Amino acid sequence: QGRTPDTYAPVEAGLSGVTKRFADQTVVDDLTLRVHEGEFFSVLGPSGCGKTTLLRMIAGFEHPDAGRIELDGVDMVGVPPYRRDVNTVFQSYALFPHMTVWDNVAYGLKRKGVRGADLRKTVGEHLDLVRLGTFAKRRPAQLSGGQQQRVAIARALAAGPRLLLLDEPLGALDAVLRKELQIELMRIQREVGTTFLYVTHDQEEALVLSHRIAVMNAGRLEQVGYPEDVYERPATRFVAGFIGTSNILDAHVSGVDGRWVELTAPGMTRLRVPLGTPFAHGDRVAATVRPEKVHLHGVDDEVPTGWCEFTGTVRDVVYTGSSTQYVVDVPGGDALVAFVQNTRRVDDAGSPGQPVRVAWDPEFTVLLGGTDD
């Protein structure tokens, strides 16, 4: 990280047993989490799950009812926001409209007593960092939304925080700009090395941006892991359903040997999956598999030996360009979704009513305890 100014010493942030209540509602519930030095860490969850409240406690704008919030091992509870080495970037940019871009970025530095050549150098470096060197004299109203958010990021980083909190910073931008700024944010974080704690309800954004992700639901953590972990090996039914699309089948365990679990679900020809988590005969489980792992076969086609397999009828065919999405009704009232990559030219993606076999390699089945009912 060649250009990291000395002021950036990324911090490790630790939360233990953090709880916050508003009236009789527990908004953050006994949350324990460790964000490593220099990590781009995302908290991902649906609207209202407590993400903003969590950030506000780390920034010092809210006080937890219980638990510790540590930066490099020092408890911050009781330390006022301006003494925390933490800065926040908001969805709404929150720039000073009457100031130029340069003055916006200089603002926090001036308050810290930085003047003269040092000030000019640091502001210049940060405008270059967000690629707005030539926009220094403009006012926020003369910039696009994406450019305004870059100014806000430059302003937040210029003051040299050791932890940057970002609360849905791309939420107000259209899809194209959002994608562009995602790439920029990754580059900026890699370049400065500051610890980023990023809050979003957008699962794709979290998967793209983050070193690690914490999935939050109703004030609690469901899973913490690398993007590949939360997507490929969801730990709970909530994670399987919230991140991407999942096929979730209710089944029960009809046999177990040392390495395999045999499952029974209505209409199923076979469902034999490698044993991961221990399950016992009779347990009710949710068997999940991602749609891109599911293959479609003609009713008379050979299906590889040992694959999980259902016979069903195509209900919907949705051609999306790079892939085609098939929804297949299977006996027992369930439907399975298969995403088929269009690696060859597609002249006719098929039509509803066709009988098919859906099958997948059992290795891609993730078994989760419990069912919805």
Is residue 51 close enough to count as binding ligand ATP by CB under 6 A?
yes
Nearer residue to ligand ATP within complex by CB, 84 or 201: 201
Shortest reach from residue 2's CB to ligand ATP, in Å = 35
Shortest reach from residue 20's CB to ligand ATP, in Å = 8
Is residue 76 close enough to count as binding ligand ATP by CB under 6 A?
no
Nearer residue to ligand ATP within complex by CB, 206 or 330: 206
SS (H, E, C) the chain: CCCCCCCCCCCCEEEEEEEEEECCEEEEEEEEEEECCCCEEEEECCCCCCHHHHHHHHHCCCCCCEEEEEECCEECCCCCHHHCCEEEEECCCCCCCCCCHHHHHHHHHHHCCCCHHHHHHHHHHHHHHCCCHHHCCCCHHHCCHHHHHHHHHHHHHHCCCCEEEEECCCCCCCHHHHHHHHHHHHHHHHHHCCEEEEEECCHHHHHHHCCEEEEEECCEEEEEECHHHHHHCCCCHHHHHHCCCCEEEEEEEEEECCCEEEEECCCEEECEEECCCCCCCCCEEEEEECHHHCEEEECCCCCCCCCEEEEEEEEEEEECCCEEEEEEECCCCCEEEEEEECCCCCCCCCCCCCEEEEEECHHHCEEEECCCC
Is residue 27 close enough to count as binding ligand ATP by CB under 6 A?
yes
Is residue 84 close enough to count as binding ligand ATP by CB under 6 A?
no
Stretch that binds ligand ATP, among 51-59, 225-233, 298-306, 354-362 (CB under 6 A): 51-59
Nearer residue to ligand ATP within complex by CB, 27 or 215: 27
Shortest reach from residue 239's CB to ligand ATP, in Å = 16
What are the tokens at 279? 């399950």
273-284 burial, b at 16+ Cβ within 10 Å, e below that, comes to beeeeebeeebe
Shortest reach from residue 329's CB to ligand ATP, in Å = 35
Shortest reach from residue 167's CB to ligand ATP, in Å = 7
Which of residues 1, 17, 32, 48 is near ligand ATP by CB under 6 A? 48
Stretch that binds ligand ATP, among 44-52, 133-141, 156-164, 181-189 (CB under 6 A): 44-52
x/- letters, 150..179, toward ligand ATP (CB under 6 A): ------------------------------
Size of the residue set binding ligand ATP (CB under 6 A): 11
Ramachandran class of 29: left when φ > 0, alpha when ψ lies in -120 to 50, beta otherwise: beta
Torsion angles phi and psi, residue 352, rounded to 5:
-60, 150
Is residue 306 close enough to count as binding ligand ATP by CB under 6 A?
no
Stretch that binds ligand ATP, among 41-49, 79-87, 264-272, 346-354 (CB under 6 A): 41-49
Is residue 52 close enough to count as binding ligand ATP by CB under 6 A?
yes
Is residue 47 close enough to count as binding ligand ATP by CB under 6 A?
yes
Contacts of ligand ATP in 176-215 (CB under 6 A):
201
Is residue 24 close enough to count as binding ligand ATP by CB under 6 A?
no
Stretch that binds ligand ATP, among 40-48, 254-262, 267-275, 358-366 (CB under 6 A): 40-48
Is residue 53 close enough to count as binding ligand ATP by CB under 6 A?
yes
Q: Which residues bind ligand ATP (CB under 6 A)?
A: 22, 27, 45, 47-53, 201
